[in-house]
C-alpha cells in the first residue's frame, strides 16, 4: 500500500453504470467509486456523475482507452464522444513512433479526468494480450508520459497505472516476474489490475497464484486494486491489496472480444445475471430458482433458513424479488463484509477469509444434503490453497522457490473437507 494512500481499504470499489443512479445517491459514504469514462460523459448533463462523485471520498474514472486499439468503439457514440477518442483505431507501433501524438493523447486523457474532478488519475492504457504484444511497451510509455505531464501541470493527486493483461501471462511465474520488473520502476502511487477472461471460479490455481503474486509484488509501497473480479477480489484484499472493483451485483469478466465490432458489451445488457441473489456466507450469487428452493419453508435447507437468512433492511420482509432490491441487498452485504475485514488487524485477515471459505464449503455441502441444490465449490478449494501457500511462504522475490506445491495443498484441503463430511 502507498504510505499516504487515499484509499487504504480493504474496500470494494463500486463500478457504477448508467442504470445505477439511485444506488449512487443512496450509498453515499463510499471510500471510492469507479465510473467508466464514456458513461461519465454520457450522463454528464444529468446527475449520475455528480451523485457518484459526491457519494465517495475518491472518485475514479476509468478512461477506457483500451477500447481504442480495436474497431468496436467506432459503432458506439458514447465512446466516440470522448474528447480523446481517435478518428481511427490506434496502432500502438505508430503511436510509439510519434512522441508528440503520444503526449497529446496522454494529456487529453488526463485533462478529461481532471475536468471531471477526480480524486485519482488513471494513465491511459491498452490491453496487452501477452508479453510480445507491442501494446505492453506502449503502456509503459503512456504511464511515464502521464507522470511527466502531472508534474508539468502541477497537479497534486495520485496517479495510477492500469495493467490490463491476458490471463495467459498469469499462468507463468516467469512472465509475472517480467510484468513486475516492467512496472515496478514507475513512480506511480498505485496500479489497477485487470486480467482478461479471468473468471475467478473457473481459472486454474496457477492463474490465481499468478494474479496474487503480481499484486503482492507490486503492493509493497503502492495501492493495488483488482478490477472486474468477483469474490476472489475479497480474498486478495485479505492478502494485502487495497481493494477490488466490480459492478453492483454483476459477475463481470473483462473479455477482449467485447472490444471488437458488432458486440453489445455491457453488463447492463446481461440482465438475467441481475436476477441472481448474493449469499455472503457462500461468497456466491445464486440463481433465483435455487434461492427459492434453498429458502423454501417446507423443502428447503433448514440450516440456511434458521441460521443464515439475511437480516439486512431489504430482506427483513423476505427474499427480494425485484432486481433493484437484489442489488440493494448486495450493496448492504458487500459493504458489511468489507467493513468486517477492515476492522481486523492485517495479520488476522488471511485467517478470517480462510474461515469464511471453509464455511462456504461446509454450507454448500449442507445445502446439497438438505435442499438438493448443488452450489459449485471447486474454486473455494483453489482459493484456500492460495491463502495457505502464500501464508506459509516467505515474502521473497524468489517466487518459484518460496511457494509450496499448490497441487499438494489442494489435495490436502480436499481430504480435510472430505473427512469432515464423513464424520
For residue 294, state whether it binds Zn ion (rule: CB under 5 A). Answer: no
For residue 329, state whether it binds Zn ion (rule: CB under 5 A). Answer: yes
The single residue among 312, 323, 344, 359 that binds Zn ion, judged by CB under 5 A, is 312
CA distances from 294 to 42, 314, 317, 375 (A): 41, 18, 17, 11
For residue 310, state whether it binds Zn ion (rule: CB under 5 A). Answer: yes
For residue 114, state whether it binds Zn ion (rule: CB under 5 A). Answer: no
Size of the site for Zn ion (CB under 5 A): 5
Cβ proximity to Zn ion: between 327 and 349 the closer is 327
Angle made by CA atoms 255, 165, 197, in degrees to the nearest 5: 30
Q: Which residue has the cell 518460496?
A: 402
ω into 10 cis (within 30 of 0): yes
Q: Report d(CA 255, CA 326) in Å as an integer.
A: 25
- One character per residue 380-399, x = contact with Zn ion (rule: CB under 5 A): --------------------
Cβ proximity to Zn ion: between 42 and 330 the closer is 330
Q: To the nearest whole angstrom, how small is the minimum distance from the Cβ of residue 200 to Zn ion?
A: 23
For residue 82, state whether it binds Zn ion (rule: CB under 5 A). Answer: no
Cβ proximity to Zn ion: between 84 and 308 the closer is 308
Q: To the nearest whole angstrom, how small is the minimum distance from the Cβ of residue 337 to Zn ion?
A: 12
Cβ proximity to Zn ion: between 152 and 311 the closer is 311
Q: To the nearest whole angstrom, how small is the minimum distance from the Cβ of residue 332 to Zn ion?
A: 6
Q: Report d(CA 253, CA 267) in Å as an integer.
A: 9
Nearest to 144 by CA among 93, 92, 188: 188
Helix, strand or coil, per DSSP, at residue 129: coil
338 C-beta neighbours (distance < 10 Å), count: 20
The single residue among 7, 159, 214, 315 that binds Zn ion, judged by CB under 5 A, is 315
Cβ proximity to Zn ion: between 222 and 329 the closer is 329
Q: Report d(CA 43, CA 17) in Å as an integer.
A: 10
Cβ proximity to Zn ion: between 36 and 280 the closer is 280
For residue 64, state whether it binds Zn ion (rule: CB under 5 A). Answer: no
DSSP calls for 366-400? HHHHHH------HHHHHHHHHHHHHHHS---S-HH
Nearest to 383 by CA among 174, 169, 212, 167: 212
Q: To the nearest whole angstrom, how small is the minimum distance from the Cβ of residue 234 to Zn ion?
A: 17
CB 370 within 8 A of CB 297: no
For residue 231, state whether it binds Zn ion (rule: CB under 5 A). Answer: no
Q: To the nearest whole angstrom, how small is the minimum distance from the Cβ of residue 295 to Zn ion?
A: 12
Cβ proximity to Zn ion: between 141 and 329 the closer is 329
Applying CB under 5 A, which residues contact Zn ion? 310, 312, 314-315, 329
Amino acid at each position: 500500500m502507498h504510505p499516504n494512500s487515499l484509499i487504504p481499504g480493504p474496500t470494494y470499489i463500486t463500478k457504477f453504470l448508467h442504470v445505477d443512479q439511485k444506488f449512487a445517491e443512496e450509498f453515499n459514504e463510499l471510500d471510492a467509486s469507479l465510473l467508466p469514462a464514456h458513461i461519465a460523459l454520457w450522463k454528464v448533463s444529468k446527475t449520475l456523475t455528480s451523485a457518484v462523485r459526491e457519494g465517495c471520498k475518491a472518485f475514479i474514472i476509468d478512461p477506457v482507452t483500451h477500447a481504442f486499439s480495436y474497431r468496436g468503439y467506432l459503432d458506439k457514440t458514447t465512446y466516440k464522444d470522448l474528447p480523446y477518442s481517435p478518428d481511427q483505431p490506434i496502432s500502438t507501433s505508430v503511436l510509439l513512433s510519434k512522441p508528440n501524438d503520444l503526449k497529446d493523447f496522454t494529456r487529453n486523457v488526463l485533462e478529461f479526468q481532471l475536468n471531471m474532478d477526480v480524486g485519482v488519475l488513471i494513465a491511459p492504457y491498452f490491453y496487452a494480450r501477452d508479453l510480445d504484444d507491442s501494446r505492453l511497451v506502449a503502456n509503459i510509455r503512456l504511464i511515464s508520459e502521464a507522470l511527466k505531464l502531472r508534474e508539468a501541470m502541477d497537479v497534486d493527486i495520485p496517479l495510477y497505472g492500469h495493467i490490463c493483461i491476458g490471463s495467459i501471462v498469469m499462468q507463468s511465474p516467469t512472465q509475472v516476474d517480467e510484468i513486475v520488473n516492467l512496472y515496478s520502476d514507475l513512480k506511480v502511487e498505485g496500479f489497477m489490475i485487470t486480467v482478461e477472461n479471468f473468471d475467478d471460479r473457473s481459472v486454474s490455481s496457477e492463474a490465481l497464484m499468478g494474479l496474487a503474486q503480481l499484486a503482492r509484488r507490486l503492493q509493497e509501497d503502492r495501492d493495488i486494486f483488482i478490477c472486474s473480479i468477483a469474490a476472489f477480489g475479497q480474498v486478495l484484499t485479505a492478502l494485502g491489496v487495497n481493494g477490488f472493483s466490480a459492478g453492483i451485483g454483476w459477475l463481470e469478466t473483462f473479455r477482449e472480444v467485447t472490444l471488437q465490432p458488432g458486440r453489445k458489451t455491457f453488463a447492463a445488457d446481461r440482465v438475467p445475471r441481475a436476477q441472481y441473489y448474493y449469499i455472503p456466507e457462500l461468497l456466491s450469487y445464486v440463481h433465483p430458482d435455487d434461492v427459492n428452493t434453498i429458502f423454501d419453508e417446507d423443502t428447503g435447507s433448514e440450516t440456511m433458513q434458521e441460521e443464515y437468512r439475511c437480516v439486512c433492511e431489504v430482506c427483513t420482509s423476505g427474499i427480494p424479488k425485484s432486481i433493484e432490491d437484489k442489488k440493494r441487498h448486495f450493496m448492504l452485504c458487500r459493504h458489511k463484509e468489507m467493513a468486517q475485514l477492515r476492522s481486523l488487524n492485517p495479520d488476522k485477515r488471511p485467517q478470517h477469509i480462510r474461515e469464511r471459505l471453509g464455511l462456504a464449503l461446509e454450507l454448500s455441502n449442507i445445502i446439497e444434503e438438505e435442499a438438493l441444490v448443488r452450489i459449485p465449490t471447486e474454486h473455494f478449494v483453489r482459493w484456500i490453497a492460495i491463502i495457505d501457500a502464500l501464508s506459509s511462504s516467505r515474502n521473497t522475490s524468489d517466487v518459484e522457490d518460496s511457494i509450496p506445491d499448490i497441487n499438494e495443498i489442494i489435495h490436502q484441503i480436499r481430504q480435510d473437507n472430505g473427512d469432515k463430511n464423513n464424520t
